[in-house]
Amino acid sequence: MTISPAEPTIVATGLRKSYGDQLVLDGIDLSVPKGTIFSLLGPNGAGKTTAVKILSTLIRADGGKILVAGHDPASDPDAVRAAIGVTGQFSAVDNLLTGEENLVLMGDLHHLGRRRSRLRAGQLLDQFGLVNAGKKVAATYSGGMRRRLDLAMGLVGQPRGFPWMSRPPAWTRGPAATCGRSSASWCPAASRFS
């Protein structure tokens, strides 16, 4: 039996980005199959967050071809935004709100409406093991609980397949990269999950 590879959900070829005269991304190629966890590893300042910002429409690349869920982030950013969720390097959790309120706020930002936002918040609190913490303000959460809430917030809009994280929590990381490049290079590591 032949198993065909899953279609890529993120494809980037020759991705380039400079800040002023500082070249940050020098022709990066990525192909991420659907249904996989993909880790982009590199030392501080390698350009990981820059790449995530480009793929998630926050900034534009200087060059290269990109398709995210079949859409070009530069020419069709709304379609890309509708298809993805993003959890950033720094937490988006509001410490003054409860876990549930943070999720409902995210639902409001997705225009889900109050009833659907509350429903979705309840589902995610359950899914992320935060039911008992849902009514407590996030300031009282442990680091791991806050990270789980942050990740759940990235899933409120029910993205097609993937939240992206710059610096994800350890349990979402793929296997250690063994691409054999030097530590100053990009080291993509992908693992299929079931």
Question: Which of ligand ATP, Mg ion, none is residue 47 near (CB under 5 to 8 Å by kind)?
Answer: ligand ATP
Closest contact distance (angstroms) between CB of 46 and Mg ion is: 8
- Give the nearer residue to ligand ATP in terms of CB position, either 89 or 191: 89
Contact 154, 86 (CB under 8 A): yes
Based on the shown chain and the rule CB under 5 A, indicate whether residue 91 belongs to the binding site for Mg ion: no
* Residues within window 142-181 making contact with Mg ion, judged by CB under 5 A: 166
> From Mg ion, ligand ATP, none, which one binds at residue 42 (CB under 5 to 8 Å depending on kind)?
ligand ATP
Structural contact between residues 84 and 69, judged by C-beta atoms closer than 8 angstroms:
yes
From 48, 66, 44, select the one nearest 57 (Cα to Cα): 66
Q: Binds 149, which of ligand ATP, Mg ion, none (CB < 5 to 8 A, cut-off by type)? A: none
Residue 44 contact among Mg ion, ligand ATP, none, beta carbon within 5 to 8 Å by kind? ligand ATP
Q: How far apart are alpha carbons 58 and 166 in whole angstroms?
A: 13
Within 44-73, the residues that bind Mg ion by CB under 5 A are 48-49
With CB under 5 A, what is the number of residues at the site for Mg ion? 4
- Collapse the DSSP code of 27 into the 3-class scheme (helix H, G, I; strand E, B; otherwise coil) and give the result: strand
State the residues that interact with ligand ATP by CB under 6 A.
19, 24, 42, 44-50, 89, 166
CB-nearer residue toward Mg ion: 52 or 103 = 52
Scan for tokens 């950013």, then name that residue: 77
Beta carbons within 8 Å of 149's beta carbon, 6+ residues apart? 93, 99, 102, 103, 128, 130, 138, 141
Q: Considering the complex, what minimum distance in angstroms separates the CB of residue 163 from ligand ATP?
A: 17
| DSSP character at residue 75 | T
Grouping H, G, I as helix, E, B as strand and the rest as coil, residue 164 is: strand
Enumerate binding residues for Mg ion (CB under 5 A): 48-49, 89, 166
